[in-house]
Structure 1
Amino acid sequence: PPFWGTRVLTPSDISLEEVFGYLDLQALFVGQWQFRKPQEQSREDYDAFLKETVHPILETWKQRILSENLLHPHIVYGYFPCLAEGNSLHIYDPAVMKNSDMGTNNRLPLPEPIATFTFPRQRSLRRLCIADFFLPKELAKPGEFDVFPMQAVTVGEVATEFAQKLFKADQYTDYLYYYGLSVQTAEAVAEWCHTRIRHELGFGDLEPATLREVLQQRYQGSRYSFGYPACPNMDDQPVQLELLGADRIGMTIDESEQLYPEQSTTAIVAYHPTAKYFSA
């Protein structure tokens, strides 16, 4: 990786115009804004409705967010040394990679991990486990580690505050539009950050040509969020936030496992070519 450890990106480092290019419009228009195609309507008529009515709403809101500074994207991401052991992944202090002897002195003992994540394995099908996508401890040469990327992103507490302001003012339509767009913008920031990680790891030439292909995961590797089927243990998320130092971007997690600010998302990244979504 280009560096070991973590890096914070603030709104001055993140182009919201670029981030908007990663918006999943299907999830926004249908999932958040509820513009579903009526059964009796033709696809052509529905597409015309989206073009004439819904896209202009989106453009208006994008411009308003930019001009009134209504979303504050922040990211903390980084690269950690790791080694796999069975279904577990041991995470090591990035400082070990800054020790110039680590890669050359065969007599240095393997340091203790600073965290270990254990993942479930599929009971059938390909019997996949996230740990499979990383270098096994028993195959690692002295001083050799794999790279474990992680990210945490948010569009800031302004998203919650402004949405509440619209709701309290009985501006329910604006509330629906803004809230839905803030949710999907947080997802778009995650996609933007994951793209940055792939480029920094040297896979930029393998990038898909279109957003549709990005959203279909036609890139190298995958990202996973704790709580989902491949890594369901939510107790790992506070550990992840601590490793990243997510409090530097104001991100915390409460006892009910809810992230704060509300429009935030975290992920671990596997860059192995066979790493894709799966349920375990």
Structure 2
Amino acid sequence: YAHRSLFVEDDTPYGPGVFYAKDAFEGLSLMDRIVVPERRGELIEETLTKARKTLNKPSRESFIAPADASDTERSDTRLIDPPTPPFWGVREMTDYTLGDIWPHLDLKTLFRLHWGGKGVKGEEWEALQNEDFLPRLQAMQADAEAAGWLQPRVRYGFFPANSDKNDLVIFDPEHHARELLRFTFPRQPARERLCLADYFQPLAGGAKDAVAFQVVTMGSAATQRTEETQARGDYSESYFSHGLSVSSAEGLAEMVHQRVRTMLGIGEETGKRYSWGYPSCPELEQHLLVDRLLDMGSIDVEVTDGFQLNPEQTTAAIVIHHPDAKYFALLRSGGGPAATKAPEPVASL
């Protein structure tokens, strides 16, 4: 993206340069080169060379097919008897502590992506992990528990539902015949022609299905801590705090998903959780529909004008119980990147 953004029009690059850093450490390395005139020229030349190569390659978007609203024929996804949830409606989950969330942290993503360990290998990686990251994680977890700068909250609920072509129809949990709203999902134009709505009993069949929604947040105190440490010049603490808060939100989402599976009486690996903004569930505007169902404001979460969730350390998802549910992309016929895969929980590194 940074390479494509470098060119303001056609083949004309933006003079001062556009540079991409995968993390704060690489950002500091880039700044070291930018502030030295002779090194900056070399950096700009390297960036231009890489960017022009990028421009000559087809983008991923060229393989992604736009949703065809006219293609509403159901795929061959099998129909199954739906589970019965323990209740209908929405609740706030409160019976957990931060200690219940920690086992669900994806340490690979935290250490490699959020804490800048990507690309480190061998003995250097072992030293970084054992002498820095793991002790730091334990200390930050203890501090979060004592100081309260991670404040997890959860809203979740079960709703009667049916599919209607590409729509997932959500019904009133108290009056199952009363339609509340609809989610319209895109359909693959090729391969299996999957659509999330296909994982539910069709409206025409008369039998109601069940769907779960969840929203989790680590609270605004996490954002406040990140901003305060940055304001006083402690950029390292700000960086690591932000990474832990984001990973903790994902860990909380995984914990809630596992509990929802248990409540539905399905297997630990049965079904999938889909968040908005990804290929099979792309429309961020649908956060507004989730808000109508779950009342996110009751846990101090809001949908912004750009349809993002605030605080940043917040995720919302639809939980689908169907055993054949999978992650998929909307690919054009005849090629393109492989179907999207969800990150798997990592128990050890």
Aligned to 1:261: 311
Deviations, residues 185-223 of structure 1 (Å, cap 9, x unaligned): 0111111110110000002xx32xxxxxxxxxxx10101
How many Å separate the matches in 2 of 1:72 and 1:48?
31
Unaligned runs of 5+ in 2: 1-84, 331-349
Aligned to 2:201: 135
Aligned to 1:4: 88
Q: 2:113 aligns with which of 21, 31, 35?
A: 31
Q: 1:171 aligns with which of 234, 242, 263?
A: 234
Aligned to 1:162: 225
Q: Conserved in 1, the CA contact under 8 Å of 2:104 and 2:255?
A: yes
How many Å separate the matches in 2 of 1:23 and 1:197?
18
Residue 145 (str. 1) matches residue 229 (str. 2): no
How many Å separate the matches in 1 of 2:224 and 2:238?
11
How many Å separate the matches in 1 of 2:319 and 2:329?
16
How many Å separate the matches in 1 of 2:89 and 2:218?
22
Residue 119 (str. 1) matches residue 185 (str. 2): yes
How many Å separate the matches in 1 of 2:163 and 2:87?
21
Residue 276 (str. 1) matches residue 336 (str. 2): no
Deviations, residues 159-184 of structure 1 (Å, cap 9, x unaligned): 11111111111111111111100010
Q: 2:252 aligns with which of 184, 189, 195?
A: 189
1:47 deviation in Å?
Answer: 2.6
Q: How many matched pairs?
A: 246
How many Å separate the matches in 1 of 2:308 and 2:196?
24
1:52 deviation in Å?
Answer: 2.5
AA of the residue aligned to 1:34: G
Q: Conserved in 2, the CA contact under 8 Å of 1:77 and 1:151?
A: yes
Deviations, residues 56-83 of structure 1 (Å, cap 9, x unaligned): 1111111110111111100000000001
Residue 246 (str. 1) matches residue 312 (str. 2): no
Unaligned runs of 5+ in 1: 98-110, 208-218
Aligned to 2:275: 225
1:237 deviation in Å?
Answer: 1.1
1:48 deviation in Å?
Answer: 4.0
Q: Conserved in 2, the CA contact under 8 Å of 1:74 and 1:153?
A: yes
How many Å separate the matches in 1 of 2:322 and 2:299?
29
Residue 58 (str. 1) matches residue 159 (str. 2): no
1:9 deviation in Å?
Answer: 2.2
Deviations, residues 103-151 of structure 1 (Å, cap 9, x unaligned): xxxxxxxx341101111111111111000101111222xxx31101000
Q: Conserved in 2, the CA contact under 8 Å of 1:84 and 1:131?
A: yes
SS in 2 for 1:21: helix
1:46 deviation in Å?
Answer: 1.9
How many Å separate the matches in 1 of 2:141 and 2:256?
20
1:234 deviation in Å?
Answer: 1.9
SS in 1 for 2:159: strand
SS in 1 for 2:179: coil
Aligned to 1:86: 165
1:45 deviation in Å?
Answer: 4.5
How many Å separate the matches in 1 of 2:285 and 2:114?
28
SS in 1 for 2:211: strand
Identity, in percent, stands at 38
Computing the radius of gyration from Cα coordinates, the structure with the larger value is: 2
Q: Conserved in 1, the CA contact under 8 Å of 2:284 and 2:308?
A: no
1:14 deviation in Å?
Answer: 2.1
Q: Conserved in 2, the CA contact under 8 Å of 1:14 and 1:73?
A: no
1:49 deviation in Å?
Answer: 3.1
Aligned to 1:73: 152
How many Å separate the matches in 1 of 2:246 and 2:290?
21
RMSD over aligned Cα atoms: 1.3
Q: Conserved in 2, the CA contact under 8 Å of 1:129 and 1:230?
A: yes
1:36 deviation in Å?
Answer: 2.5
Residue 234 (str. 1) matches residue 234 (str. 2): no
How many Å separate the matches in 2 of 1:88 and 1:237?
16
